[in-house]
Structure 1
Amino acid sequence: MAQTDVEIEGPARGLTAAQVAERVGRGQVNDVPVRSSRSVGQIVRANVCTVFNAIMGTLFAIILVVGPIQDGMFGFIVLANALIGIVQELRAKHTLDSLAVVGGARPTVRRDGVAAEVPPDRIVLDDVLLLGPGDQVVVDGTVIEAEGLEIDESLLTGESDAVVKRHGDTVMSGSFVVAGGGSFVATRVGREAYAARLAEEASRFTLVDSELRNGISRILKICLILLVPAAIGLILGQLLGQDADTDEAIRRMVAGIVVMVPEGLVLMTSVAFAIGVVRLGRQRCLVQELPAIEGLARVDVVCLDKTGTLTEGGMDVAELRLLEAPDAAGDEAYVRRVLGTLGASDPRPNASLQAIAAAFPAPGGGWRATDTLPFSSARKYSAAALAEPEEPGAVWLLGAPDVLAPADHPRLAAVDELNARGLRVLLLARAQGSPGVAEPTVAAGAEPVALVVLEQRMRPEAPDTLRYFAEQGVAAKVISGDNAVSVGAVARRVGLDGGTAVDARGLPAEPDEFADAVAGGAVYGRVTPQQKREMVRALKSRGHTVAMTGDGVNDVLALKDADIGVAMGSGSPATRAVAQIVLLNNNFAALPTVVAEGRRVIGNIERVANLFLAKTVYSVFLAFAVILTAVPYPFLPRHMSLVSALTIGIPAFFLALAPNHERARPHFVRRVLRLALPFGLIAGAATFGVYLLARAHYGGTEASREAESSAATLTLFLIALWILVIVARPLTWWRTLLLGLMAAGFAVPLSVPWLQDFFELSLDGRQLPAVAVAVAVAAGVLLELVFRLAPRYVPDLPAES
């Protein structure tokens, strides 16, 4: 209803200013906080307060105290890792907050008999709210005025048909008006309103269950367990066994400890996810959490809400079926002009009339409506008196066939068959005589002229997307609150062969039987919001990784409990808040892109994880070998930073961004360790062996320490480079070039004097460097044997692709 300054008397007058103030004082206000994402503080804490940052930050602080700064280069990884996560999530938050503001409603409230717009958070209990076409219902209430009022509750129930509301009926927050007008009294506001209760139940933020992140966390915990005794043993060994000064002992202890932590793997995972987020952003796909990309790539069941996901908010004319008629009304061109005039006659057409207007343009040339009766769900038809060129015309009716003609009418035999296919059928009929359009008897004896067959508008990308999921072994299930016949018809039209659509009201109540029924079917109608949630849980209980798509408040709980929630950008703020992925342009076809991006990330991170974890293994080996043999630790932190950068950090960045189409597989940690463990042991044993030979050759004095460390560093670099060669296969031109550049990068600090001083690297003589190279070659042969024999015993190792 439009805003007015005319005062209203009686119950619809609304509250007085004093009554409003009284309710505000009692806290009976619609004070639901706008929640579109995590707060800034929550985002910062989640990305800063991690086990990884605690470990690396402590070690970096130690180096800042004892110096020099070149031994603390690893500290920048901590900063970079935290910044990537924070910046990405803040971008997602800004987008969602903008969407929430754009979608905000401005309800009209009548107080003291005068209507005025107020913000939603100023509404109080017992307020009288006015409704007109397009208005959103922001609180729950009871209708007190209704003039052809029809409410769309699809965001709450999934039912696509509008619901007629009369005096005394209930309206729920989250619905909106599609026709007519009226007013209602607010009976539940704030957190008590229906939509708010659903959103509140789903408001607790939970992270995506990421196998990569969980696996890396497990590795970090193991490193933390090993780190403490290794640190104590190293510092005591350097101070007591080698009589080293305190600063030198601390530096070498940090060198031994910092390489145990796969800090680059944490950073590389964040970088790979973040770049994936940027790529998906170009497809108008908003990823709220970095690991959500991985999650969708692992999904094996995707649950689809029909309304808003497979279908668009509109209808199309599928067929115009003429019925036998004795005169010009049977001419198709004539009928099209009638329909075109009817479509243009209503200033506020419903979805059916909009489809008719789009299919049959207004004819012009003297065709016009002289009187109209808008469609009403109570009457189930609309009517219009049409003036034809040079003729007075007739009254035409458009509506439900069973209302405008007897059910056994011989010309309506096809209606039941069309309805069974999930199509909507309207009958175009001509009234007998010249009654007024508003006459109750206007439909009596109307002559059927044509059937207008309407179908829900499918998203054009839906069939190809479902075909992609089928090819990838991902099962699709359509779960909707709409009637089962309609849902089944939509499923068939998008190419989903799910058998007979199941009415969810008939599903068994016993949990195991319910789970079996859900796992065995593919198309469900009349599903309540709570049932959607139970279906997701049932599928997860059967070991499935489940994604749920939706756009309405009725989807919130299911989105929340799914492994990955995907919301449409045009959906309710509550769904956008709880979903991990938001399709900003409502393009369902973006999901295969997300899956492909996730597979690229998973496959490449698994590939480079072999580099990082091999480093962790040889670092642990070296640390405990030093403790047991009571010799100085071979390296300074800068040595390990150099080797790690050239054999792991820099090449891993490029490998992590390369194309990769391998399917995601489970057991990330177990599979990676099967290569990383023997690789690391071989590297550690060979490097420590050369170090002991160097100590024996050079004398093991303070003056020879640089030469001894340099020989060990050369051995470790060559073996780590060989591991990189194995992991990088197949060796394409750009990967071969990358390997050559990394080798050249190590040669530079060995040959440039000021870099020799900076890194404390110098190869003394020829004999030990030659031995170091020979040992590295022998270790390389062992690495190749492990790599070739492992597939015989470990069939699920990553393929060379």
Structure 2
Amino acid sequence: MTTPAVTSAAGLTDAQVAERIADGRTNDVPTRAARSVSEIIRANVFTRINAILGVLFLIVLSTGSLINGMFGLLIIANSGIGIIQELRAKKTLDNLAIVGQARPTVRRASGTKELPPNEVVLDDVIELGPGDQIVVDGEVLEAANLEVDEALLTGEADPIDKTVGAAVMSGSFVVAGSGAYRATKVGREAYAAKLAEEASKFTLVKSELRSGINQILRFITYLLWPAGLLTIYTQLFTTGADWREAVLRMVGALVPMVPEGLVLMTSIAFAVGVIRLGQRQCLVNELPAIEGLARVDVVCADKTGTLTENGMRLHEVTWLDDRAGDQTNPEIALAALAAADSRPNASMQAIAEAYPEAPGWTETASAPFKSATKWSGSSFGADGNWVIGAPDVLTDQDSPVAERAETVGAQGLRVLLLGQSDRSVDAPDAPGDVTPVALVVLEQKVRPDAKATLDYFASQNVTVKVISGDNAVSVGAVAGSLGLHGETLDARKLPSDQEPLAEVLEEYTTFGRVRPDQKRAMVGALQSRDHTVAMTGDGVNDVLALKDADIGVAMGSGSPASRAVAQIVLLDNKFATLPYVVGEGRRVIGNIERVSNLFLTKTVYSVLLAMLVGVVGLGAELFGADPMLFPFQPIHVTIAAWFTIGIPAFVLSLAPNNERAHTGFVRRVMTAALPSGLVVGIATFVSYVLANPGMSAPAELQAQASTAAFVTLLISAWWVLATVARPYEWWRVLLVATSALAYAVIFSIPLARETFLLDPSNAPMMLTAVGIGLVAAVAIEGLWWAQGRILGEPRRLWRER
């Protein structure tokens, strides 16, 4: 250990700062990896789907049929809604990021103060303490037992001692000691900025939803090519119809194949989730983290700062030696230790509040607190070498002092041992032989909302593991007071190999005396058993575990390093916010699954109908039979999607949804959408074949045949919506009923029928179409119940209260 360096490095003057700002020598790296406004607009306007719809829209306009170009409004709707929601989410995230970002302490000639990272300039002097994140590259000017962890950048597992002249890299963080460094590289020249943004510090959250949507889109793409080419050929070159009619029928076949709302609704669901969580002071650093926490089945919670509040209060100091005379009063030694600590942790802050008057001792050496060693101390020359830390670490675990401390800790109190060492605290073999002087008992207040949060996780079959550096008995007592039952284990007895460690973790609930490297190993062991693990924490000792967990959750009052690596930051420091995050994740997952069912069903029946009509067209060309026009014009498929997919999907994507998240997103969506889409497509085709009067028939009869097929499509597609909306509650019933009522209104108003090119005047055709539609609805209903059996999911018509 090194002797504390004397603070001497001067900071920049205001004139020097202004000069560097004018020259652009500033830390101009964005605080968040977020898209700019112009990027958001471009990303939502210039999409592949908008391009396809735009080309089809121009083709329809060339025919002069403006009403059939109404699907072009989808381009405006898709872009406008996407832009608005993403801008709202960006504003929420940026505002929260400003509150939650790490603010380095910058020393300048005008004074020392905390500044936003982007206000740091080249050659600034930045002070460091435990838990501080290094925001720019630099050279150490002062070092007092300074140790830096660079594991997030280099993979080096052990903290590195930094002496004067050593280089420090942005993205690393201080684990012990204090010091200062001068910024030598800022902005995009800094080390972390040269690595891939965001991924340089932590891996992206695994998103089954994101990868599942991509799989579905690839599947749709494979369907679109053959169906599209066949439709284009048969409608334009085999029907012999007027070119305008043929073009409109071709576009009518192609438009519904495009899943125009699937990606949009997914983006909206995530964006609204970010906004809702932002209203609860929850910063989401990575959007899929909302989904990830909904899938979590194990939560590893730190005790201090999570189950208990950060602040502590000195409960009592118990002398361990009855000798009088030259024996130093332990309160005086505690006051000296507190005064000598420039960066006190919560325990030392409580001691400083109880003993604010320092005795005036001169510190000659210091040893900062480290999670790995669990003690700190100072040497005061003739006044002795004083250490304070875990009783079972500074003395033998079986000693009377350690046993007495454990008895006190069993009441849920934090117990530290104050002792005198026989050597300087910076000696290589410190603390050496420690003479116990007093037990320092601290009180931690249990968070009032902790029990309700733990009860919620228990009701959702989410296992909670309490992992703490405190005494195991004390941690177990706190957990027990919150109703968390299970065995407690001292982490010093944990096996180092992953498989036996995973066995132990399955058996025990509460762990004390856990080192930072053990926290990381415990997360890995749980993941090896296919658990989805969330880690909560606020200290520098939690950083590596937060980084490795599937979801890292940091407290807003925690260290800058812990906030930097976490995917979710609870800025209000409330553990009770986690159930809302879980609920939001479930809303996103469940609603996107419903929406995906609707859009994929539409794509399946559209492709199938186009293929069937195309095959008939090819057969007609080969055998000289009567060719077949596609049954619908663009306006038909546009209004069919309004109330069976578009508007209901938008409502369902934003609705409350507390259903538990399950894996197998793609399998469930495919199992639901493929059979339903096949039923709708076949029913519509049969209805059209029975009603089709042939190419030589008058236009009036062809319009009636198209209307008959349209009626069958509406009935069967509406029943798909009716099953997707289950389990019912009042607003879902209203949504389904409104959809049916909207089409009833369209058919009952003569102007609407004329505008939308509908002719339901042929009663026999309409009765046949309705009958086929009802048969399709019965088939879809039967499939819905059968799918529940196949997937092992109980089907319910009504939501249970």
**If the length of structure 2 is used for normalisation, what is the TM-score?**
0.72
Q: Residue 107 of structure 2 aligns with which residue?
A: 108
Partners in 1 of 2:759 and 2:492 — Cα distance?
78
Match of 2:460 in 1: 472
> Residue 301 of structure 1 is aligned with which of 295, 298, 301?
298
Match of 1:616 among 603, 626, 633: 603
Question: 3-state SS of the aligned residue for 1:107?
Answer: strand
Residues 85 and 519 of structure 1: CA distance in aligned 2, closer, same or farther (over 3 Å): farther
Query: How big is each residue's C-alpha offset from its partner over 1:364-395, in whole Å with a ceiling of 9 and x where there is no partner?
Result: xxxx9696559995695899xxxxxxxxxxx9
Aligned to 2:78: 78
Map residues 784-799 of structure 1 onto 2, 5 A cutoff: 784-796=781-793, 799=796
How far has the Cα of 1:638 moved from its partner? 1.8
| Native 8 Å contact 2:54 2:72 kept in 1 | no
Report the CA distance shift for 1:451/1:166 in structure 2 as closer, same or farther (over 3 A). Answer: farther
Alignment of 1:222-237 (within 5 A): 222-237=219-234
Preserved contact between residue 230 and residue 614 of structure 2 (Cα < 8 Å): yes
| Corresponding letter in the other structure for 1:594 | V
In the TM superposition, what is the alpha-carbon distance from 1:297 to its structure 2 partner? 0.6
Aligned residue type for 1:36: R
Q: 1:753 aligns with which of 750, 755, 771?
A: 750
Counterpart contact for 1:469–1:476, Cα < 8 Å: yes
Contact persistence 1:30–1:190 (CA under 8 A): yes
Which residues of 2 match residues 9-28 of structure 1 at below 5 A? none
| 1:355 has 2:355 as partner | no
CA contact (8 A) 1:145 1:182 kept: yes
Q: Which residue of 1 aligns with 2:490?
A: 501
Q: 1:256 aligns with which of 249, 253, 276?
A: 253
Q: Per-residue displacement from partner, 1:261-314 (whole Å, max 9, x unpaired)?
A: 333333333333333333222211123444332221112233445665455543
How is 1:128-143 mapped onto 2 (pairs within 5 angstroms)?
Answer: none
Name the counterpart of 2:432: none
Q: Deviations over 1:417-446 (max 9, x none)?
A: 5579883336699xxxxxxxxxxxxxxxx9
**Contact 2:147 2:176 (C-alpha < 8 Å) held by counterparts:** yes
Distance between the aligned counterparts of 2:202 and 2:682, measured in 1?
46
Which residue of the partner structure matches residue 782 of structure 1?
Answer: 779
Q: Measure the CA separation in 1 of the matches of 2:386 and 2:667.
A: 66
For 1:424, the aligned partner's letter is: V
Q: Matches of 2:474 and 2:195 in 1, distance apart?
A: 26
Q: Distance in 2 between matches of 1:209 and 1:116?
A: 38
How far is 1:622 from its partner?
0.7
What is the distance in 1 between the residues matched to 2:94 and 2:194? Answer: 25
1:760-799, Cα deviation, whole Å (9 max, x unpaired): 1121232211222222222222233333344444423665
Bigger drift between 692-701 and 277-286 goes to: 692-701
Q: How many Å separate the matches in 2 of 1:62 and 1:524?
A: 70
**In the comparison of the two structures, how many residue pairs are matched?**
725
Mapped to 1, the partners of 2:390 and 2:583 lie a distance apart of 50
Write the distance in 1 (CA, Å) between the matches of 2:673 and 2:258.
Answer: 14
- The AA in structure 2 aligned to 1:233 is L
- For residues 723 and 681 of structure 1, what CA distance do their matches in structure 2 show? 12
Separation (CA, whole Å) in 1 of partners of 2:759 and 2:782: 32
| Alignment of structure 1 residues 540-689 onto 2, 5 Å | 540-551=527-538, 559=546, 561-571=548-558, 576=563, 579-630=566-617, 631-689=628-686
Residues 686 and 322 of structure 1, relative CA distance in 2, 3 Å threshold: same
Preserved CA contact (<8 Å) 1:31 1:190:
yes
- Quote the Cα distance in structure 1 between the aligned partners of 2:333 and 2:598: 70
CA apart distance, 1:726: 2.9
The answer (yes or no) to whether the contact 1:679–1:783 under 8 Å persists in 2 is yes
Alpha carbons of structure 1 residues 771 and 664: separation in structure 2 relative to 1, 3 Å: same
Cα shift at 1:632: 0.8
Aligned ranges 1:734-753 → 2 under 5 Å: 734-753=731-750
Q: Which moved more, 1:518-527 or 1:211-220?
A: 518-527
Structure 2 residue ranges without an equivalent (≥5)? 1-5, 153-159, 368-375, 421-434, 618-627
Distance 1:246 1:225, change over 3 A: farther
Q: 242-251 vs 217-226, which deviates more?
A: 242-251
User: 1:32–1:760: structure 2 CA closer, same or farther, 3 Å change rule?
Assistant: closer
Deviation at 1:194, TM superposition (A): 9.8
CA-CA distance at 1:595 after TM superposition: 0.8
Q: Deviations over 1:652-682 (max 9, x none)?
A: 3334444433211111222233232222222
Superposed displacement of residue 748, structure 1? 2.2
Deviation at 1:593, TM superposition (A): 1.0
Name the counterpart of 2:373: none
Gaps of 5+ in 1: 1-9, 158-162, 328-334, 363-367, 384-394, 430-445
The 5-angstrom pairing of residues 148-547 of structure 1 reads 202-203=199-200, 208-304=205-301, 308-310=305-307, 312-319=309-316, 350=344, 351-352=346-347, 354-355=349-350, 373=361, 380=377, 400=388, 414-415=404-405, 418=408, 423-425=414-416, 451-455=439-443, 459-477=447-465, 495=484, 497=486, 499-503=488-492, 507-508=496-497, 523=511, 527-528=515-516, 536=523, 539-547=526-534
- SS where residue 246 of structure 2 aligns? helix
The share of aligned pairs that are identical, in percent, is 45
Rounded to whole Å, the distance in 2 between the matches of 1:298 and 1:402 is 37
What CA distance in whole angstroms lies between the structure 1 residues aligned with 2:402 and 2:541?
37
Tell me the distance in 2 between the aligned counterparts of 1:686 and 1:116. Answer: 72
Residue pair 2:103, 2:114 contacting (<8 A) in 1 also: no
Aligned CA distance change for structure 1 residues 244 and 541 (closer, same or farther; 3 Å): farther
More divergent stretch after superposition (569-578 vs 681-690): 569-578
Change beyond 3 A, Cα 1:178–1:519: closer
Asked if 2 retains the 8 angstrom alpha-carbon contact of 1:305 and 1:478, the reply is yes
Amino acid of the structure 2 residue aligned with 1:623:
A
Structure 1 vs Structure 2 CA RMSD: 5.6
Whether the aligned pair in 2 keeps the contact of 1:303 and 1:476 (CA below 8 Å) is: yes
Distance 1:788 1:505, change over 3 A: closer
State the one-letter code of the partner of 1:296: L
Cross-structure match for 1:38 = 34
Does the 8 Å CA contact 1:401/1:426 hold for their aligned counterparts? yes
User: 2:713 is matched with which residue?
Assistant: 716
Check conservation: 1:608, 1:652, Cα contact below 8 A: yes
Shift of 1:624: 0.7
CA shift for structure 1 position 634: 0.8
**Contact 1:202-1:560 within 8 A present in 2 as well:** no
Spell out, residue by residue over 1:227-261, the C-alpha distance to the aligned partner (whole angstroms, 9 max, x if none).
12212211221112222344443332232122223
Deviation at 1:325, TM superposition (A): 7.9
- How has the CA–CA distance of structure 1 residues 428 and 81 changed in structure 2, closer, same or farther, with 3 Å as cutoff? same
**Higher mean Cα deviation, 220-229 or 63-72?**
63-72
1:507 maps to amino acid: S
Q: C-alpha distance in 2, partners of 1:296/1:447?
A: 45
| Residue in structure 1 matched with residue 620 of structure 2 by the alignment | none
> Residue 692 of structure 2: SS of its match in structure 1?
helix
Shift of residue 635 of structure 1? 1.0
Distance 2:243 2:285 in 1: 47
Structure-1-length-normalised TM-score: 0.72
Change (3 A) 1:731 1:209: same
